[in-house]
Structure 1
Amino acid sequence: MPPYKQQFAAAIAALDASLRPRAQQHELKDLLLRVRFSCYVWLVQQRILGLQQQQQQQQQQQQQQQQQQQQQHQFYELHQMQQLQQQQQQQQQQHQQQQHQQQHHQQQQHQQQQHQQQQHQHHHHQQQQHQQQQHQQHQQQQHHQQQQQQQQQQQQQQERMHGCLLLCVGDSGCRETETQRERQKETEIDRERQRKTEKDRERETEGDRERETARDNKRHKETETETAGDSDRDRDRERQRERDRERERERERERERRDSKTHIKLCQQQQQQQQQHQQEQEQQQQQQEQQQQLQ
């Protein structure tokens, strides 16, 4: 038996022994029953509060570990993508230096080879972007499933605690659990809106990328259809293509910086919402303790 139970059992026994000789009247019997019942209710409430605090601490630790793992995984992927892009840029520069060293009558053949390589690299880059988007969507789905599981566990725990409180304190526990359910519904609605906004942003970025790739393909086709009649024109076209590639690389870097910033902002928003939710739960617990003390 825990020490606080032993102390209360001893106090109840002493009180019972002191009041029993005088418990001939009806009022003393009623008072004794009330004291015993209030002590029993207090013991049950203390046990429920201890279980709630343990469960909240475990949930907070699990959420912090999941957030740290996701952030480490995403930073590692961004670092790998940057290394791959740097390797591709170095390979393109080496290939261009080799082409400038060759003779004038082989320039048209080399231009066709460059176009094929650019299409292959562009297609490979699109595949990498598509894989990264799929991976991010998969992470978001896993995070959503974890949140749903945690919410279900919290609802089940609250329903169990609600049943215990009904046996102890009556209808006051019903009102408190109803307010908790309403707040949980509001948080779920806010999370659903946030997921919709994230999906809309992803669709907008995909549309921008598709439009840019279509423009680049159209520009490459137009440059190919033109006849290279003069070496000066060929050199000018080659310089223009190099500028276009440099712009494309700059756009890609800008997109990566934007995506990383938006992801960090979303993570911060989620952490703030979780902290607010935890603070609300702590406030609710404090209100419950105050009401129980008043009762």
Structure 2
Amino acid sequence: MSVRRLAPKELQPESFAFTAENLAWAENTIAKYPAGRQASAVIPLLMRAQEQAGGWVSEPAMRYVGDMLGMAPIRVYEVATFYTQFQLLPVGRKAHIQVCGTTPCMLKGAGDLMKVCKNKIHAEPFHLNESGTLSWEEVECAGACVNAPMVQVVNEVFEDLTPEILEGIIDAFERGEKPTTGPQNGRKSSEPVTGLRVLTSPELYDGSMVGTGVGLAAAREAIAARAAAAAAPKPAEPAAAAAPAAPPKSDPAPAKPPVAEAVKAAGSADSDKPSKPVAPPPAGEKGN
């Protein structure tokens, strides 16, 4: 992960405070967490502070949020600098263009989209244009890989882009307009660019079958068919073959197998060996 630092002092505002509406929202949000766990609200409060400030989080805003939650400033800095959803520098007043540069988008032309941003906004990311209305950056996967390449502006996505289409979107933001979001090549959602090949019947998804009982009727027919099959008489099963009778328990135990001739010979040889001689007692000793 790249190093993310707070904006320089000359860009930081003197102070920050929630509006009355946002303050009431923040207090309600904090109240959702158990006592002693108020710090868990740091991300939603930072997000609300970013929205109020026009798209970025200043150092005074971080301190303000930390004071509300009883957190040391460094703990709030850690959160704000870790998550890339928080902008640490001022962004364009009208739009901050986030160009996805992950592999699927790059293979589909994200590099050309970045060239458009460099030409129409600024040669470097995280810099405002001359009027301060637009800015841009490269981001990692924004979750629209099927519709690559794409860009995101706040919480809106623009997919299936070409350099020419992105130029038109940027110009629309500059004029203060709201461009049409979603795929820009005419397809619906993330369906195949060649058109749907399955589930093409409109009644499968247009809601025309809702409330007509078609599905319920089919279910009832299936239940009735299973009940009829269960109630039908079953064909007689053929008699099972008689199992062989078990041997009587009084049968004598089987005879032991005969001893091998080699084993017999070894036993005879052992019995014919002379007994082990006993050494004579040492000289001078008499036997008892």
- TM band (smaller chain): under 0.3
Q: Which one has a larger percent helix, Structure 1 or Structure 2?
A: 1
TM-score, scaled relative to structure 2: 0.18
Q: Name the larger-Rg structure.
A: 2
Q: Which has the higher contact order (CA 8 A, sep 6+)?
A: 1
Q: Which one has a larger percent strand, Structure 1 or Structure 2?
A: 2
